[in-house]
């Protein structure tokens, strides 16, 4: 482990002596020249020591509770130093095993000392405050009146009975049946159909129709109750040249663009687990409506967020020639950001919320999550586990969690602990914060084990578990099958979905250590998913308690072989052309079909492309050298042109064509023999027999 930067000061505080901090052991683990000073009241009586530290170097403060205070002190002092914070109290110091937590504390400090990753590209939004309110007139108009001074309001009335439109026309009011709402903050498009005979946009609200209707089917919402209307059209006559009432309206489709949408319908128009930013659907609950209205004013202006993904369409296994293979990312995305786009997929960056589930389930690595990049996360894992091990830690369990509800849950668990007695996180459980645990694919899981982790636990909140629990669970099963087959005993991968601190404490303390790799790997994790998986699995296999050459996997695993029925395969090579990973290759100048198993992602494009239905998939992980070499799946006897003798196909394919087309009238006489000729000889033969019947009629 390299020496920590000499220009970085570490400020530690035992929080009024409630944590057992070993200054000497920590300095040794971090390879510092001298012990670290341990403060007792850094945020109070010893605050001057913090100010003094800012004079010379960048500073890492091992306290997040008082981060606002320390940031304010740094600002007041005019310090130019970079200020970073790390939580060692709730995550390590406050625990029933606090006396054993020194390796974990050292690991957390070492990881916090790493430089920040390179920033990722950003995605921008621009909202001018054009708001569409959708819902029943009595509710929608009320909220329009309240918000019209803050936002540029428009109203789409879905039902108008019993409501009264405002006396002043200060914003557009339409009526109709909503068909769809699409888009995102600053770029929504609403489509609806004018369902009522009265067009509110044309209506002058003169009340002539209200007074003329004998059935009182029109109220002051200026919509006709068609159940009461007797169709005598007195209202049409009263409306006169205004022309707002038309029972036979042909052009009913309406469409407008907006920046924001407040949907007050009983059911949301956008039924997604994570609706797009700028779309709020509080339903009919008045409190939820008020909270949603409060958020709307904050959604005006220009905004940015990270572009969470990168997509390499060259290796995407979604489709070839309109034949669909893999659609994992489309099926997994909870925001509707990913859709088919010909033979590739398209990602709407503004809709993407950065869950990373698409990257987790992508078998080829065409879709990658970059917030953080796998390479950056790999460096943090390597530093964390290397420091922990170097400080004497054993059986490390990495607890991945998000920066929201799960981080708060861990903090709550630590605050309720009795240091040195009970509660908190075990000393071997090291929390590691990520944007979304759904983004952690098998490359990260295997990478953690290769670096020496005993286990990996993903702590998911309710929303993450509901949207991505099944997809992440499948990836974990594949990974667990492999490490178990290699003889690594125990449960290495766990998805823990809870927001209950008591349940988290019970589950995490009950988790028995699993067998870890004896020698940690030295390689770095990379952005190429398949390469990273290969490095990590080869490392685990090389040191495996039970070496294996082949491991059977369940359907859906991203490794396996392709099997070909030689009786039906004609070596047309359609599968070769469809394969996105170059796993299937032809025999160049020979009628051969070859296979390189390490390249196969089990996308199924070869299966859906094969016209003879001769191809099937067989998931497995082959760990021998055979996986990297070409092996022949099928070969055939070359067929030589009956005219010139040149080989131009294989015998099975030509025999199949002759058998299928032999009875066709167009191949009567010498035409059938022409199927057995090469391209050049076929043309020559046709020119020599011009009198034959052709598709263009009889020629003499």
DSSP for 276-325 reads: PTTEE--TT-HHHHHHHHHHHGGG-EEEEEE--EEE-GGG--SEETTEE-
Element at 456 (helix H, strand E): strand 455-460
Class of domain 126-303: alpha beta
Degrees to nearest 5, angle at CA 475 with 606 and 603: 5
The separation between the first and the last C-alpha atoms of the chain, rounded to the nearest angstrom, is 88
Specify the pLDDT at position 452.
Answer: 98
Specify the pLDDT at position 697.
Answer: 53
In the chain, what are the domain boundaries?
A: 8-85, 126-303, 307-369, 374-542, 560-635, 638-688
Nearest to 653 by CA among 671, 670, 636: 636
- Residue 6 binned pLDDT confidence (cut-offs 50, 70, 90): low
Given a contact cutoff of 8 angstroms between Cβ atoms, the answer to whether 581 and 610 are in contact is no
Q: Within 10 Å of residue 93's Cβ, how many Cβ atoms?
A: 26
Residue 464: CA atoms inside 13 Å, Cβ hemisphere, count?
A: 29
Specify the pLDDT at position 700.
Answer: 42
- % pLDDT > 70, the chain: 97
The mean predicted confidence, pLDDT, of the chain is: 93
Specify the pLDDT at position 652.
Answer: 78
Nearest to 382 by CA among 111, 101, 20: 111
Task: Show the tokens assigned to 202.
Answer: 């044309």
pLDDT exceeds 90 at position 673: no
CATH architecture of 374-542: Alpha-Beta Complex (3.90)
Specify the pLDDT at position 646.
Answer: 87
Mean pLDDT is lowest, of 303-317, 608-622, 684-698, for 684-698
- Tell whether omega for the bond before 372 is within 30 degrees of 0, i.e. cis: yes
Nearest to 363 by CA among 474, 523, 448, 494: 474
Given a contact cutoff of 8 angstroms between Cβ atoms, the answer to whether 654 and 642 are in contact is no
Compute the residue count for the chain: 700
Task: Show the tokens assigned to 207.
Answer: 């009340």
Element at 459 (helix H, strand E): strand 455-460
Give CA–CA dist 103/30, Å, rounded. Answer: 10
Task: Show the tokens assigned to 283.
Answer: 């339903």
CA 216 vs CA 236, 241, 325: distances in Å = 14, 22, 60
Specify the pLDDT at position 263.
Answer: 98
pLDDT exceeds 90 at position 531: yes
**Residue with the two structure tokens 């702590």:** 459
**3-state secondary structure (DSSP) of residue 458:** strand
Specify the pLDDT at position 367.
Answer: 98
Nearest to 259 by CA among 165, 151, 356: 151
Kindly report the pTM of this predicted structure: 0.88
- Which CATH fold topology does 560-635 show? Alpha-Beta Plaits (3.30.70)
Taking residues 76-84, report their average pLDDT: 89
Specify the pLDDT at position 2.
Answer: 32
Residue 312: CA atoms inside 13 Å, Cβ hemisphere, count?
A: 16
pLDDT exceeds 50 at position 231: yes
pLDDT exceeds 50 at position 93: yes
Domains 307-369 and 560-635 are alike in CATH topology:
yes
Specify the pLDDT at position 696.
Answer: 52
- % pLDDT > 90, the chain: 82
Specify the pLDDT at position 649.
Answer: 76
- Residue 7 binned pLDDT confidence (cut-offs 50, 70, 90): low
Specify the pLDDT at position 656.
Answer: 80
Taking residues 146-157, report their average pLDDT: 96
Given a contact cutoff of 8 angstroms between Cβ atoms, the answer to whether 530 and 366 are in contact is no
- Residue 1 binned pLDDT confidence (cut-offs 50, 70, 90): very low
Taking residues 224-233, report their average pLDDT: 89
Helices (H), 486-632: 501-510, 529-542, 574-578, 605-609
For residue range 609-647, list pLDDT tens digits in order.
999 999 999 999 999 999 999 999 999 878 889 999 888
- Residue 512 binned pLDDT confidence (cut-offs 50, 70, 90): very high
Nearest to 598 by CA among 544, 546, 538: 538
- Residue 330 binned pLDDT confidence (cut-offs 50, 70, 90): very high
Q: What is the CATH number of domain 307-369?
A: 3.30.70.20
Specify the pLDDT at position 664.
Answer: 78
Specify the pLDDT at position 250.
Answer: 80
- Residue 694 binned pLDDT confidence (cut-offs 50, 70, 90): low
Give CA–CA dist 340/395, Å, rounded. Answer: 44
Nearest to 377 by CA among 314, 456, 315: 456
Provide φ and ψ at 179, rounded to 5°: -100, -45
pLDDT exceeds 60 at position 71: yes
Q: Is residue 415 packed enough to be buried (19+ CB in 10 Å), middle (13-18) or exposed (0-12)? A: middle
Q: Are strands 188-193 and 177-182 parallel, antiparallel or unpaired?
A: antiparallel
């Amino acid at each position: 482990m390299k020496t920590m930067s000499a220009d970085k000061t570490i400020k530690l505080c035992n929080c009024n002596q409630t944590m057992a901090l070993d200054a000497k052991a920590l300095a040794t683990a971090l390879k510092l020249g001298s012990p670290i000073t341990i403060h007792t009241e850094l945020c109070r009586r010893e605050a001057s020591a913090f100010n003094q530290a800012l004079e010379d170097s960048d500073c890492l403060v091992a306290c997040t509770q008082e981060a606002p205070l320390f940031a304010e002190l740094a600002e007041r002092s005019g310090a130019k130093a970079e200020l970073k914070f790390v939580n060692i109290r709730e995550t390590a110091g406050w625990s029933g095993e606090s006396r054993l937590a020194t390796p974990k504390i050292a690991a957390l400090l070492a990881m916090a000392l790493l430089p920040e990753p390179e920033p990722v590209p950003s995605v921008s939004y621009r909202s001018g405050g054009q708001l569409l309110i959708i819902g029943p007139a009595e509710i929608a108009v009320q909220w329009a009146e309240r918000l019209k001074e803050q936002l540029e309001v428009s109203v789409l009335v879905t039902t108008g009975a019993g409501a009264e439109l405002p006396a002043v026309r200060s914003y557009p009011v339409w009526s109709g049946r909503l068909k769809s709402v699409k888009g995102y903050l600053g770029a929504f498009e609403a489509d609806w159909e004018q369902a009522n005979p009265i067009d509110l946009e044309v209506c002058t609200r003169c009340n002539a129709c209200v007074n003329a209707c004998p059935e009182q089917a029109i109220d002051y919402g200026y919509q006709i109750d068609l159940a009461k209307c007797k169709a005598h059209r007195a209202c049409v006559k009263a409306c006169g040249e205004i022309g707002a009432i038309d029972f036979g309206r042909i052009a009913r489709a309406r469409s407008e663009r907006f920046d924001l949408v407040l949907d007050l319908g009983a059911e949301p128009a956008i039924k997604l687990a994570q609706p797009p930013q700028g779309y709020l659907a509080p339903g009919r609950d008045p409190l939820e409506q008020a909270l949603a209205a409060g958020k709307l004013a904050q959604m005006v202006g220009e905004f940015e967020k990270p572009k969470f993904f990168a997509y390499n369409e060259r290796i995407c296994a979604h489709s070839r020639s309109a034949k669909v293979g893999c659609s994992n990312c489309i099926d997994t995305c909870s925001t509707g950001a990913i859709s088919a786009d010909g033979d590739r997929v398209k990602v709407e960056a503004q809709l993407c919320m950065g869950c990373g589930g698409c990257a987790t389930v992508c078998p080829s690595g065409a879709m990658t999550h970059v917030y953080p990049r796998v390479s950056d996360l790999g460096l943090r894992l390597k530093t964390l586990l290397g420091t922990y091990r170097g400080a004497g830690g054993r059986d490390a369990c990495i607890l991945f969690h998000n920066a929201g509800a799960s981080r708060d849950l861990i903090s709550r668990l630590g605050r309720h602990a009795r240091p040195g007695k009970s509660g908190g996180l075990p000393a071997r459980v090291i929390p590691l914060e990520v944007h979304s645990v759904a983004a952690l694919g098998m490359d990260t899981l295997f990478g953690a084990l290769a670096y020496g982790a005993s286990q990996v636990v993903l702590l998911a909140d309710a929303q993450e578990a509901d949207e991505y629990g099944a997809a992440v669970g499948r990836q974990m099963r594949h990974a667990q099958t492999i490490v178990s087959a290699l003889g690594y005993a125990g449960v290495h991968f766990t998805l823990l979905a809870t927001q209950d601190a008591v349940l988290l404490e019970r589950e995490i303390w009950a988790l028995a250590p699993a067998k870890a790799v004896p020698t940690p790997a030295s390689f770095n994790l990379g952005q190429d998913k398949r390469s990273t998986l290969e490095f990590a699995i080869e490392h685990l296999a090389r040191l495996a308690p039970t070496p294996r050459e082949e491991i059977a996997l369940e359907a859906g695993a991203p490794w396996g072989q392709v099997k070909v029925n030689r009786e039906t395969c004609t070596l047309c090579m359609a599968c070769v052309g469809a394969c996105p990973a170059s796993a299937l290759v032809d025999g160049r100048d020979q009628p051969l079909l070859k296979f390189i198993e390490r390249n196969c992602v089990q996308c199924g494009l070869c299966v859906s492309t094969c016209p003879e239905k001769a191809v099937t998939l067989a998931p497995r992980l082959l760990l021998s050298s055979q996986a990297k070499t070409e092996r022949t799946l099928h070969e055939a006897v070359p067929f030589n042109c009956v005219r010139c003798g040149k080989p131009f196909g294989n015998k099975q394919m030509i025999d199949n064509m002759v058998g299928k087309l032999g009875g066709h009238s167009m191949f009567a006489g010498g035409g059938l023999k022409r199927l057995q000729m090469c391209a050049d000889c076929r043309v020559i033969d046709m020119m020599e027999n011009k009198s034959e019947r052709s598709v263009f009629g009889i020629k003499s």
